[in-house]
Every structure is written in structure tokens, then in C-alpha cells.
Structure 1
Amino acid sequence: MLKSFDIYSQNNILKIIVALNLLLVGTGSLLYTDRLISKLEIREQQYVQLYAKAIGYLVDTSHVDAGDLNFVTSEILEANKTIPAIYISPDGQIAMQRNIDIPVNQTPEETRQFLRQKTYEMRKNHMPIVVEIGKGERGLVYYNNSRLLRQLTYFPYALLTILAALSVLAYLAFSSSRRAEQNRVWVGLAKETAHQLGTPMSSLMAWVEYMRSDPEQFDGSITDEIEKDVQRLETITARFSSIGSVPTLKEEDVNEVVRQFTDYLARRISTKVKMSVTSQLPPGHMVKINKLLFEWVIENICKNAVDAMKGVGELRLNMVSLPHQEVAIDITDTGKGISKATMQKVFSPGFSTKKRGWGLGLTLAKRIVEEYHNGRLFVKSSEVGKGTTFRIVLNGK
């Protein structure tokens, strides 16, 4: 356990380191991107201002010669190949536009309406730049961010998505590693428990033989019951030893297995619990199971049911056939029931409503049914104050 605790501590430290690195990378990238976007926005605004001045010079040609005018049109106006812009003349008409994808096959009026709509959209993002024409007249240049800048604006969101995905993958990786380590710990603990049980069991068997050798002093019926309990301990030891190993499945008469085990269990639970077994299965119905582990499942569910009833009530087992050659075993108690909030947790490791116990019985039962027998174990129904039904489904093929 100390070794496992160290591993878990190391995993927690690694999680913190990964989280901090992701946080630093994300924060640094976002700050740098935001700074870059701000600089590009200022640069594009300055470029549009230059574009607006060029338009002013182009419209008011009284102070420029032909060479200057040629320079303005070829070097400045034509240089804008990325920033969408619309020039509105002093009389309110659209006089010039750049880098706007106008739909084809439109009439001149439809084009004007389209460009007007674009100016409204541009105004939401940027204030128009004033063009001084001269003689007190002014035009307006509306513009929008270039495609490159718009793409860069979405980059932080893409980055956050990538970092979130990496965080989820890292979490899943650490969780998987921890679950694998927990499984190794439980397997080791189970096998060690089986090993430790071996010595007192051998001693108990010797005492049983001693008691049989003197029938006058020791009651034979008591000796028989003790021997059954010793055999039961051997079964439990075999169960613990099989954890972590792939169990061998054999064709078994499921009616006979359930009835034999419940007969044994009925004599060892509260006498105030009435246990009954019914079956709609045909006699000799065979199912591939590992008998030792399957009995463990029945025992765990039944003992949980007895605890839920506080040792008083009815415990009913019913076996039925399902489609596709499946077999269902319903275990119903008249206990306190399970709330909807609790129903999702009953199979979680460590979850228990009792003051004693580790909360592993139903977890192990579910694992045995689903991983080893390729079946299903779930809460079929439950009503608070009335009772619960667990259903085991096994493949009858």
C-alpha cells in the first residue's frame, strides 16, 4: 500500500506539472496573439487612412500633376489587395470599393444595395475614416478587417480548444494509469489474502478431523456444519486467488447452481428473512459460467439485500429466459430501496451506505458478470421504501 500511495502522489504531482505547463503555454499564447492582433489592427487602420488620403488626392487633382496622380493610383490605391473598403462620396454615393466579393449576375441597383449593406456591417466594427476632399467637402471610407486578421482573431479559440483536448487526453491517460495501478493493488491484496487464509484453514481442517475421531465428545452434526464452513472458506480463498486471472467457464445447470447456493446461504443469514427461488427456465438449462465466481455475485447481491432490509423481509430470486438465448436472474428485496441519485453510484468502488465494509461487493459483482462472463448487471427497478430488484443477464449460447 505504501508503494501505491507513492505512485498516486507522483501521479498527482505530474498532473499539477502538466496543468501548469498547459496554463503557461495557453496564457502566453493568448497574450502574444492578442498583442499581435492589436498591432495588426493599428497597422490596417493606418493603411486605410493612407488609402483614404490617396482617394482625397485622386478626387481633388488641383494640386497634383499627372505623374503624382499616376503614382497615387498605381502605388497606393492598387496596393490594397487584402482590406475590404468602400468609399462614400460627399453626395452619399458609393464611388469606389476594394476587395469585396460581389455576387455575380446582379443588376447595378442590386450591387448598390449589396454594398450599402456591407457599409452597415463595417460600421459595427470600425468607425469610418474621413476623406478631406477640399472646399469643405468630406467623403467616408468604411473598412473591415482583412481575411488574415479575421483568421488570426479566431486563433485563440482554436488554441483553447486544442489545449482543452490535450487536457482531457492527459486526464484520461493519468486516470487510466491510476485505475491500472489500483487493479494491480487489489489483485495483489486479494492473492495475499488467499495466501494468508491458507494456514488457519489447514489448522481448522485438522481440528475437524480431531473432532470426528471422538464422536462421543463432539456432536457429529456440529462437526458437519463446521466442515461446511471450512469448505466455504476454501471456496472464498479460491475466489480471491482467481482475481486478476482469466477464469475458466464451464457449462453448468444454472437452476441447480442457484438453488444449491441459496440453500446454503439461507441457513447463514437472518432467520427473519424469507428467501424463495422460482424459475421459468426448463430443467437442466445450461449456461457457461465460472461457478465459484458466479456464486460470489449471488452472495454479494443477496447480502446487500439483507442489509437493506435490516435483517427482516423477503428475498426473492427468479430466473427467466430472454430473447437471443439470454438468461436473466432477478434478485428482489423488500428493503429501503435506492434513490435515483444513488442508483448511479451503487456500482462505484468505495460507495457504501453502511458504516462497515469497503463498498466493493457490488463493484466486484459487476466486474465478474460483465468482464468475465460477458453479461450485464444492473438495477432493474427500485422504489424508496419498497425495495429493489437487481438483474443479472447471462449469455445462454
Structure 2
Amino acid sequence: MLKSFDIYNQNNVLKIIVALNLLLVGTGSLLYTDRLINRLEDREEQYVQLYAKSIGYLFGSSHPNAGDLTFVTDQIIQANTTIPAIYVDPSGAFAAHKNIDDMPAGLTPEETQKFLKQKTLEMRKKHGPLIVDLGDGEQGLVYYTNSSLLRQIAYFPYALLAILTALGLLAYLSFSSSRRAEQNRVWVGLAKETAHQLGTPMSSLMAWVEYMRSDPDQFDGSITDEIEKDVQRLETITARFSSIGSVPTLKEEDVNEVVRQFTDYLAKRISTKVKMSVTSQLPPGQQVQINKLLFEWVIENICKNAVDAMKGVGELRLNMVSLPHQEVAIDITDTGKGMSKAHMQKVFSPGFSTKKRGWGLGLTLAKRIVEEYHDGRLFVKNSEVGKGTTFRIVLNRK
């Protein structure tokens, strides 16, 4: 059974832990603030009930306690400086109001009654009116809504959650940026060290090739030629690794010729049970601006990945076509095992591989070379499990 692995799983676990902590802090703040709001609402309701009773004492002339408590009730009414309230007398008139901050100045009595009526309709949506017992069977109503302080506290948890979300997002972006920078440094250092280490054995191999050429009777010339091609290939690989971390030089190249020459070389060095073919609908001499060494590396990585997917048996087809908007597409299609949608989303991720061997960097490097160095695109055009996969490279043409 194929196994998938990701060398950055530990970083994903860390991100999950950070996200869970932020969620716990936000949820705890929301619950605690909601509790405070409920307590304040109860307190304000009690306060308005006291306010309503005070109005009953003042406006109900037949109330048994009227007169004696006029001063006290007047003090209670004046003490309400935060809770918006409107008193409606038994006749339905708006007899008194407090703390209606948005009431325009200079209203006529009729306009005032109309404005207060609209405010009571808004207040009813939040709280039902409190009944004022005026005595002799008469009742008034007090409408009220939350104070500005209570409204501010109600919005506080959402503001806090927004701040925590923003901080979490900034932490995630900073972490991701730091990780990518570290990955880049590792890749560049590894690539340059590899290029340096290859230098010595290549020099030795070139010396052996020259020695073999000096004695054609003992060494078959065709074998020597093939060995020399492989040594030149090693030199190309060394040049590729050396160029990582620096901006490559792009030149106008015949894309038909570059692809055909490289696939001719590659076809002799992959499984003989893989049939490789190249077709082109591009005009002869079609020029694209590429770095030949790096672009061949892209083709090699995708083709070798395809050969592995086919387990060394199948067909590998390369097709070059023109696209609108001055673009050229190179489709690389295999008849391998294909990919699920989940694998298609992660196939270019560093460290992802369905093979037991390898670091899972080949397609990642290929995508970076195409998109960052050649201003192109590399993506999975289509894939079907059990039938194969098509990768598409898109480049700008002249």
C-alpha cells in the first residue's frame, strides 16, 4: 500500500495548538462577558422597575403613599442618568422621558409625541414595558432599553474575538513566512554543497574518459561516448544546483528543439518498458524565454515522477500547443496510477511524496522554477485514479 508523509506535520500540529488556544481564550471571554451582560441587564431592569414605581408615586395622586415620598421619588428619577426610558400615561400620551440622547432639538409637541412613539416601538423589540400602578385601577407604562454602557459591553466580546483573530492571522503569516525562509535557506545550502561535492568525482571521471579515448583498441568508442554524455549530464546537474538561490539568466530558445533534444536523451535512461512520444502543434522555431538548464530540470522531474507512477511500464506523452494570450502549453501525460483529489492539492507541497524513498522536493522545485523564475504556471491539468495524470506547464511566448 502506498504511504504519504509530510516532513512538516509537526509544524501543522503547532499551528493547531495555537489556534485552539486562541479559540479557548475567545470562547472564555465571550462566555464571561455574556454573564456580565445578563447581570447588568437584571440590574438595569430592577432600576427601571424602581423608576416606574417612583412615577406611580408622583403621577398617581390617589396612591396611598403619595405626597410623603415625593422628594425621595424625585431623587430616584433624577438619579437615572444612563438608562433611556419613556413614560406613557393611562391616556396613551407620552408624559415623561429620560436619557433619549438622539432626540432632535426644537421639536414641536406633535413632533415630540411622534418621535417618542417611534422610540417605544424600538424599545419593545428589546424589552417589554413595565406597568406603573397609579391607583384607582389606572396604569401607565414605562418603556426602556439598555444603557450605552451595557451596549458597549455587549459588543466587547466580538471586538475581542476580532482582535484575537487578527493576532492569530498575523502569527500564522509570520510563522509561515519564517518557515518558508528557513526552507529556502536549507535548499540553497544543500544545493550548493551538492554541487561542490560533485566537482571532484566529475573531474576524475573526465580524466578516465580521456584515458579510455587514448586506447581505442581496448575500449569501445561508443561506450566511451555514452560515458562522456553522462559526465556532461553530471556537469549540467552541478550547474543546476549551483544556480539555486540566484536569479537565473533567461534566453530566447526554440522550445520544440529544447524539449525534443532533452527527451531523446532521457528516453535512453528510463525504463525500456515506457514508451515516450513527443508531439507539437507549435509553429517551427517557436521561441520562449527560458533558462535551458533549469527548464530541462523541470521536464526531468515531471517525467521521472510519471515513470515512478507507472512503475516503469506504460506510455509517457509530451504535447506542445499554443494558447491564447501569447502562451505556450506543454502537457506531460502518463498512464500511471493517477491521483485522488486530496493528493492533487498537496502534490507540490514540500516533503509530500507517495514513495518510500525521496524527500518529496522534485515537483516543489519544478513549480518554483516555472513560476518564480520563468513567470509561468505549473499545475495538474487532470488526473484520474487508475488511468493517469497530466501535468501542464504554461510559458509566455514571443
Asked if TM exceeds 0.5, the reply is yes
CA offsets per residue over residues 226-281 of structure 1, 9 Å max, x none?
11111111111111111111001011111111111011001001111111111122
Match of 2:125 among 102, 121, 136: 121
SS of residue in 2 equivalent to 1:61: coil
**AA partner of residue 217 (structure 2):** E
Residues 298 and 114 of structure 1: CA distance in aligned 2, closer, same or farther (over 3 Å): same
Confirm or deny that 1:185 pairs with 2:186. Answer: yes
What does residue 216 of structure 2 align with? 215
The range that moved more, 259-268 or 106-115, is 106-115
**AA partner of residue 289 (structure 1):** I
Structure 1 CA distance for aligned equivalents of residues 11 and 262 of structure 2: 45
SS of residue in 1 equivalent to 2:392: strand
**AA partner of residue 213 (structure 1):** S
Confirm or deny that 1:174 pairs with 2:179. Answer: no
Query: Is 1:94–1:112's contact at 8 Å kept on the other side of the alignment?
Result: no
Structure 1 CA distance for aligned equivalents of residues 314 and 134 of structure 2: 97
What does residue 200 of structure 1 align with? 201
Shift of 1:290: 0.4
Structure 1 CA distance for aligned equivalents of residues 380 and 14 of structure 2: 38
Structure 2 CA distance for aligned equivalents of residues 115 and 248 of structure 1: 72
What does residue 233 of structure 1 align with? 234
Structure 1 CA distance for aligned equivalents of residues 339 and 20 of structure 2: 38
SS of residue in 2 equivalent to 1:377: strand
Shift of 1:335: 1.7
Unaligned ranges ≥5, structure 1: 1-7
Shift of 1:83: 2.0
Larger RCO (CA within 8 A; separation ≥ 6): 2
User: What are the within-5 Å matches in structure 2 for residues 64-75 of structure 1?
Assistant: 69=70, 72=73, 75=75
Shift of 1:86: 4.3
Shift of 1:375: 0.5
Unaligned ranges ≥5, structure 2: 1-8
Shift of 1:331: 1.1
What does residue 50 of structure 1 align with? 50
What is the TM-score normalised by the length of structure 2?
Answer: 0.83
Query: Is 1:86–1:119's contact at 8 Å kept on the other side of the alignment?
Result: no
**AA partner of residue 121 (structure 1):** K
Query: Is 2:123–2:145's contact at 8 Å kept on the other side of the alignment?
Result: no
What does residue 60 of structure 1 align with? 60
**AA partner of residue 153 (structure 2):** L
What is the TM-score normalised by the length of structure 1?
Answer: 0.83
How many residues were matched structurally? 383
What does residue 248 of structure 1 align with? 249
CA offsets per residue over residues 26-84 of structure 1, 9 Å max, x none?
58865775575456435533431331132011123365559x758855x5546545423
What does residue 265 of structure 1 align with? 266
Structure 1 CA distance for aligned equivalents of residues 229 and 327 of structure 2: 33
What does residue 335 of structure 2 align with? 334
RMSD, matched Cα: 3.6
Structure 2 CA distance for aligned equivalents of residues 362 and 219 of structure 1: 38
Query: Is 1:332–1:389's contact at 8 Å kept on the other side of the alignment?
Result: yes
Residues 95 and 10 of structure 1: CA distance in aligned 2, closer, same or farther (over 3 Å): closer
CA offsets per residue over residues 102-154 of structure 1, 9 Å max, x none?
89999999889757745642446xxx655443467665534321233123211
Structure 1 CA distance for aligned equivalents of residues 337 and 126 of structure 2: 66
**AA partner of residue 364 (structure 1):** L
Query: Is 1:277–1:317's contact at 8 Å kept on the other side of the alignment?
Result: yes
Structure 1 CA distance for aligned equivalents of residues 53 and 208 of structure 2: 110
Identity over aligned residues, as a percent? 77
The range that moved more, 115-124 or 220-229, is 115-124
**AA partner of residue 48 (structure 2):** V
What does residue 5 of structure 1 align with? none
Shift of 1:385: 2.1
Structure 2 CA distance for aligned equivalents of residues 13 and 116 of structure 1: 52
SS of residue in 1 equivalent to 2:346: coil
Shift of 1:173: 0.4
Residues 280 and 300 of structure 1: CA distance in aligned 2, closer, same or farther (over 3 Å): same
What does residue 357 of structure 1 align with? 358
Structure 1 CA distance for aligned equivalents of residues 82 and 151 of structure 2: 11
